[in-house]
Amino acid sequence: MAEPTLLAEAPETPGSPPAKARPKWYRRPWILPLFLIVGLFVAARLPSYLTFDTGDSLVELQGAFPETHYLMLSGHILFGSIAIITCSMQVWPWLRQHHPRVHRISGRLYVFAGVVPAGLFALVVSIVSVIGPAGKIGNVILSILWFGVTFAGLIAARRRRFQEHRRWMIRSFALCTSIVVNRIWLVLFLVCLMPFLDGYYSGDMDALIEDAAVASIWTSWIVNLMIAQWWLDRKPKRPRKPGAGPTASATKVAVGA
């Protein structure tokens, strides 16, 4: 996410254009949709893992140890909810600029009450899940990368290398929110594969769903990470310097007026 700095109010010098104030937090077009999507996602998933009833699980449980699998899923969803909420707070420029203490506290919560426990549970859940090896590998790599970029950002912040911290945490945000877009990719892959149900899959809907699930696992975090890297590497437009353009008289000379 872009993190523009807030312009400080400074006395205007004669002949200089007035400084433009940054838009209010509620006028940034991505903030409200982000919190709305995250809130709906958490509200849709978290309640099913707070009842301690394996029948409420939204995913198929490992056959030999359904209770253990459910408890690990519950831990992952609970701490993952903390992670995605605090991560959304971390990329909110207004909060960081006006309430740096809240930014720091939410950042520590994100790392130690979100990423660490949620990531550890994710590693175990990925290994024991009923999905095939390709899906397990995709989830394990996602968890390891999530750990790596998050702690790289934490170390950069402790060394007061805030530009590096920002870049690593944008990557962490991309990986954290990949679980949300995973559901979108899953639906898209299901729609794309449905025409092949009777032919390639011989009517086996379970096989089609597993292929769509595996594809969505890999696509969600890879595409998110690519978008984040593009955002970091993009070249911002340089503001035009006053007087850099041709003057009216120069323009007349150029056109032979």
Asked if residue 115 is part of any domain, the answer here is yes
Unique residue bearing structure tokens 């995973």: 182
What contacts 174, CB < 8 A, 6 or more positions away?
A: 221, 224, 225, 227, 228
pLDDT for position 6: 32
The answer to whether residue 17 sits within a structural domain is no
pLDDT score at 238: 62
Whether residue 257 is contained in a domain is answered as no
Does 8 reside within a domain?
Answer: no
Looking at residue 63, what is its pLDDT? 65
Helix-strand-coil split of the chain, %, nearest 5: 70, 0, 30
Residues with Cβ within 8 Å of residue 250, at least 6 apart in sequence? none
Q: Quote the number of domains for the chain.
A: 1
Q: Kindly give the parts of the chain with pLDDT less than 50.
A: 1-19, 245-257
Q: How far is CA 154 from the centre of its chain?
A: 17
Residue 255 maps to a domain: no
Domain membership flag for residue 253: no
The distance of Cα 101 from the centroid of its chain, to the nearest Å, equals 22
Please give the Cα distance from 136 to 204 (Å, whole number).
Answer: 21
The reported pLDDT for the residue numbered 23 is 60
DSSP code per residue over 170-238: HHHHHHHTHHHHHHHHHHHHHHHHGGGTTTTTTT-HHHHHHHHHHHHHHHHHHHHHHHHHHHHH--PPP
Residue 12 has a pLDDT of 41
Do residues 140 and 84 lie in contact, with contact meaning Cβ atoms separated by under 8 Å? Answer: no
Classify residue 20: in a domain, yes or no: no
Residue 4: inside a domain:
no
Q: What is the pLDDT of residue 213?
A: 95
Domain containing 129 equals 26-233
